[in-house]
Structure 1
Amino acid sequence: MTSLWRFVLLCIVWMGSYKATLAQTQVNIRKPTNLTTNAGQSPDTVNLRVEKPKSLTFTASTDQRFYFFEDTRNDNGKRVPVSVYGIRAGFLYPTRKQHEPGGLRAAFKAGAGFYFLNQTLDRPGLLPNTSESVKRYLRIATLYFEPYLYRKKAIEVSLPLEIGYGHSRYELISDQTREGEVARGVFIPAGVGISASYQFPVLFGIRPIHWFGFNVLTGYRFILKRDVPDSNINYSGLYLSIGPSFYLENLTSDFKYWRNKRKNK
């Protein structure tokens, strides 16, 4: 099965999970209640009243991932992780229900990311007519859409979907030849995964603590267009990210909360 068909299949599964969660959310919103109000309004009228969505919230974070490229293996033929560094920035699209300051909840987030990698390849023969080790430089720009499956208190689970454009450059690292650049290439990466995060709670009234948390992200990246078609290089493979997280939206929400509190005084 080619990378394109694998990506399409995973997207279908991704859409099924997202639609199932969305349908359950709509059922919960429309679920009637037998309670009445003091103003004499009918229960249906009260339940169907929905607040307008609030403004978008900017969010940004660093993103370090460990990719298991098919062309990066050890002496036993097993894939070894390659560290790719990046940054993501975008907007949180809020839910219709207002939440407490510092506990902002969103239906999904969307934005762009940029990643880079400088890696030495010690496997001769990956590039045509090249019998020496090479060093490759990758630069990748991506767009992402990430709906939330579960958001309750400090725990979040989401399904990131990405597509982007990448550029690569390969150089010989032999001191004897010094031929410099060997090849250039472009590729189109697409990925789908699942992310789970935990935000630290506010302890002893110290709100900055919950600006930080912990995140686990895993998924699969497909290459829809080969980098150098006649080479053995392929960037398709699993990726994994485990580490601390910084929640910019919690910081900005707390500053708004403190500013409004000061105005009210």
Structure 2
Amino acid sequence: MSAALIELAGIERVFHLGDSEVHALRCLDVSIAAGEYVAVMGPSGSGKSTLLNLLGLLDRPDAGTYRLEGRDVTTLSAEEQARVRSERIGFVFQSFHLVPRLTAAENVALPMILAGIAPTQRAARVAQTLRDYGLEDRAGHRPDQLSGGQRQRVAIARATIMQPAVILADEPTGNLDRATGEEVMRLLEKLNGQGVTLIVVTHDVALGARARRQLLMEDGALQHDTVARREGVGDPCALPT
């Protein structure tokens, strides 16, 4: 099995709402190997989105450690986390999150601009990436001039332009019809087949079943890990009674 890309140990995340505490993540220990295809599943409020935000360095845990490629990223400054996020993590969202005023090519180029890559190098890589995703004839179109499937392909192109180690996909087919959603999933799975770690957050059982490993979340805790149980690893932390 490949080396661990992601290692979470003792992760806790607590939100304070008025006088009450909400344990969004509790006693979370997860290891994900490089190249894995993992679905994070569970009902609303189970901790899926909080886990995604933490994996994407958009949030910090209240306790525990998160190691990415062997590096404890929980101890990094906000600036250092932003660089890791830019260079090693790709995001694909349900609502695309494209910049409306920018063209497809300009949206794809954004991560490279933020990373300070030279304009000539950017132009060549964007052109090649748009060709790879069948979008070369849409390079000059703004998001409102694209179909849902084209917008998601632009989003995936933007997510992969920096050749990240992991792609985090949050309900990537949620705003797409079934045929277009299937096309998008095949595209993501092709990237996984090329060695990119793919983590899909979904409440869709059929979508989650496509992954080779499913993590089932409930009340902020990991309730079931298909791979962990197959390999004889002990039960994850039980929910407090």
State TM-score, norm by structure 2. Answer: 0.27
| Structure having the larger proportion of residues in strand | 1
| Structure having the larger proportion of residues in helix | 2
State TM-score, norm by structure 1. Answer: 0.25
Report the structure number with the largest CA radius of gyration: 1
